[in-house]
Structure 1
Amino acid sequence: MALMRYEPLNLLNQLQREVNHLFATNRLVDEETGHVLADWMPALDIKEEPGQFVIHADLPGVEIKDIEITLEKGTLALKGQRASETKQETEQYRRVERVRGTFLRRFSLPDVADADKVSAKCKDGVLEVVVPKREAAKPRRIAIES
């Protein structure tokens, strides 16, 4: 049997971590004004292909009319909201994990992005945003003269 040293501060540190985790929030807050910009952030993938960048964002339960995509000064913003259910039932939930409210994701586009040809579509709760690359930005092979 091994002896363990009793450290009362370890218990306080563990309690502090658990309380911080309990009250942790994924909200995006504007540092200057303190206003809440987003209640949640959707999971997404960004893939670079030879001629374009493709962004896939998981937005289950978000209607297309509630999604706004803007592009300003090289920054692409995905913004929208998932509305809460309006059922007036007396059911008591044991666990609620699906987040409701406003979401916001912003990305700085590289110089090679063609901002005039950005397109988006949504199917089965997955938003796909395609950002093509400009023709001049595509790599080309340069011949070497002898």
Structure 2
Amino acid sequence: MSVIRYEPWSLVSRLHHDLDRLFTQEFARGDDARVAVCDWVPAVDVVETADAFVLTADLPGVEPQDIEVTMENGVLSIRGRRVNETYNGQSGYRRIERQSGEFFRRFTLPDTADADAISAKTSNGVLEVRIGKRAEVQPRRIEIKVS
């Protein structure tokens, strides 16, 4: 008979992590990041550098031709589809945790984002979208004349 170590707090910790991620995704965005109904939501990091905004999305199993990146009116949209071809209604599965189907994310970018300087690449299931920044516009002082 073998001894199996049981750690009840690991289940609580995992539940806490999952709930924290759910509430962060759903309520803390403030940018209508997910307006459309979708089957799953990929994790995305957004980093601002000196010359660009860089979005990194985890999209394992998503083919590059199944990803669409668009920018309109200062809103960057990433949409696509992941197909799980291994399941296809086969019996015998005891657990299915990998999500598949349509996904959609939307991010409102600041006015400094340059819609003409966007590039996207994918490597090992990670999508990187780089949005260049416009040169900062300096405020112009307007002289007030006395008549």
TM-score, normalization by structure 2: 0.65
Runs of 4+ in structure 1 over 6 Å off? none
Question: Quick check: which has more Rg, 1 or 2?
Answer: 1
Closer, same or farther: CA 60–106 of 1 in aligned 2, 3 Å: same
Alignment partner, residue 74 of structure 1: 74
Alignment partner, residue 33 of structure 1: none
Q: Secondary structure at the match of 2:65?
A: helix
Aligned partners of 2:105 and 2:48: how far apart in 1? 18
Amino acid at match of 2:73: K
Amino acid at match of 2:135: E
Q: State the shift of 1:86 in Å.
A: 5.5
Closer, same or farther: CA 112–63 of 1 in aligned 2, 3 Å: same
Aligned partners of 1:105 and 1:128: how far apart in 2? 14
Aligned partners of 1:107 and 1:97: how far apart in 2? 27
Q: State the shift of 1:136 in Å.
A: 2.3
Alignment partner, residue 112 of structure 1: 112
Amino acid at match of 2:75: T
Alignment partner, residue 31 of structure 1: none
The share of aligned pairs that are identical, in percent, is 50
Which 10-residue stretch deviates more, 36-45 or 110-119?
Answer: 36-45
In structure 2, the gaps of 5 or more residues are 1-18, 26-35, 139-147
Alignment partner, residue 133 of structure 1: 133
Alignment partner, residue 44 of structure 2: 44
Aligned partners of 2:117 and 2:63: how far apart in 1? 23
TM-score, normalization by structure 1: 0.66
Aligned partners of 1:125 and 1:79: how far apart in 2? 15
Aligned partners of 2:72 and 2:112: how far apart in 1? 15
Aligned partners of 2:106 and 2:69: how far apart in 1? 10
What is the alpha-carbon root mean square deviation over aligned residues?
2.7
Q: Secondary structure at the match of 1:118?
A: strand
Q: State the shift of 1:84 in Å.
A: 2.5
**How many residues are treated as equivalent by the alignment?**
108
Q: Secondary structure at the match of 2:106?
A: strand
Aligned partners of 1:37 and 1:90: how far apart in 2? 27
Q: State the shift of 1:137 in Å.
A: 5.1
